Amino acid sequence: MSIVNNLFNHKSNERMRQLIEAIRTRDFSLQYSLDHLRGEERNLAEQINEVVNEFRETTLLQEAKYQYFGTMLDTINAFLIVADEQGKVHWMNRAAVEGLCGFSIQHLQDLQVLDGALPEMMMQLKPGLQKLMQLETKTNEAAAGKKALDAGNQNAGKADFVLSVVNFFNKGFAYRLYTLQNVQPVIQKNETDAQQLLVRVLTHEIMNSLTPIISLADTLCEGVEQDTLEHDDLLMALQAINRRSNGLLQFVENYRKLQRISKPLFEDVRIGDLVADLQHLYPDSIFHYEIENEDQIVQIDRSQIEQVLINLLKNAQEAVEKEEAPFVCLTTHLSSNKRDFIISITDNGKGILPEVMERIFVPFFTTKTSGSGIGLSICKQIVTLHGGTITASSKPDDKTTFSVVLPV
């Protein structure tokens, strides 16, 4: 009996060893035939077969999910790269393999062939932030075409990309998922739309001045030729031409102002001090100031940002002139991710119509009788030079809010 027990125990131990080895090597082809087994030996073999089958099904399901998500990621046009904290690359989607360098890279340092500063930029980038850059990738090179390259245009094969990163953990190890998104088509479309709007506005403004000047000049010429022009009529016509000519000169000067915005001279500025200056400039009771994080320091060109906020406060003041209970409120707060500081100015004026809202930042567009149409355009340029954004939202007959978002 002891010999039989020893033999059973030996077989049981051997089967358990084989099961452990199968799990360790992820080889789930192990399967015991039950034809000649009886009793406890058969029960053990059945349980081992069940365990192996469960592992096999789980593994197949995981592999199917991996292939499914891998296929989905391969259809994304953005370049995706997974690397560890040391910069070793563990995975790239098909777009990144084919579009970046034309081959799989082993380390982020391999991307120096695209831009010498790119690897360090990727390693230093913090989650939640984005970096805009120009890269000449394999995809861009092909799209640019040999003709453009032969023409001597050094930027022919370059495109604008936005770089972002997300940190995550897998099996206790830290990884970083980098995304390089080609935003060139979006930028080109926005530039084209902006240029078309600008051309329409320029044409409108110039024709508004030239048409009466030409008409008056024709009238003067006709009057002089026929000797029918009275002195007073001549004087009035010349004065009208002078006014329209000066108006056209002022328009050209405003255009020059748009082109002369200097680069910001950054300095550390305390938010409380910045708002205090605005309170001195706009002390009227219609203005309200709700300040959070007064001691927050932001790096800005103080003069330029003050110019932006003064312009917005002035616009808000004009918007509520005819309101029975005029109200303008300036608020400041940190964004939820603590990376941006937001200054908002809200008024309870008539609001801005949707068709007007989409054009408010276009140079020379204005709804004011005597407006130049460059104030908000200059504001947007200044904020953009600071690496921030300016947005507007409005509910007609309720309120309008302009928000300036600046990086901390």
| Lowest mean pLDDT segment, chosen from 10-19, 95-104, 108-117, 387-396 | 10-19
pLDDT digits (tens, 9 = 90+) for 183-204: 776 666 666 666 666 666 666 6
Q: Which residue did the predictor score with more confidence, 235 or 286?
A: 286
In order of 170, 215, 268, 305, 406, the CA distances from 390 in angstroms are: 38, 42, 21, 12, 9
Q: How many angstroms separate the CA atoms of 161 and 393, rounded?
A: 28
Say whether pTM exceeds 0.85.
Answer: no
Residue among 305, 281, 299, 307 nearest 375 (CA): 307
Q: What residues pair up with 167 in beta bridges, in sequence order?
A: 176
Owner of token pair 């010349």: 238
pLDDT digits (tens, 9 = 90+) for 136-185: 776 555 444 444 444 444 444 577 888 999 999 888 889 999 998 887 76
- At residue 332, the 3 state secondary structure works out as strand
Arithmetic mean of pLDDT over the chain: 78
pLDDT band at 98 (very low <50, low <70, confident <90, very high): confident
Q: Give the DSSP letter of residue 100.
A: I
| Residue 337 identity | N
Q: What residues pair up with 299 in beta bridges, in sequence order?
A: 268
Q: Which residue did the predictor score with more confidence, 51 or 275?
A: 275
pLDDT band at 72 (very low <50, low <70, confident <90, very high): low
Q: Locate 333 and state its tokens.
A: 């707060």
Please tell me the predicted confidence (pLDDT) of residue 183: 78
Q: Locate 369 and state its tokens.
A: 């009788």
| Lowest mean pLDDT segment, chosen from 26-35, 137-146, 219-228 | 137-146
Model confidence at 404: pLDDT above 90: yes
Average pLDDT over residues 35-64: 74
Average pLDDT over residues 248-269: 74
pLDDT digits (tens, 9 = 90+) for 307-340: 899 989 999 999 999 888 999 999 999 988 788 8
Q: What percent of the chain has pLDDT over 90?
A: 24
Q: How many angstroms separate the CA atoms of 392 and 403, rounded?
A: 6
Average pLDDT over residues 341-350: 94
Average pLDDT over residues 55-66: 75
Half-sphere exposure of 78 (CA within 13 A, CB side): 15
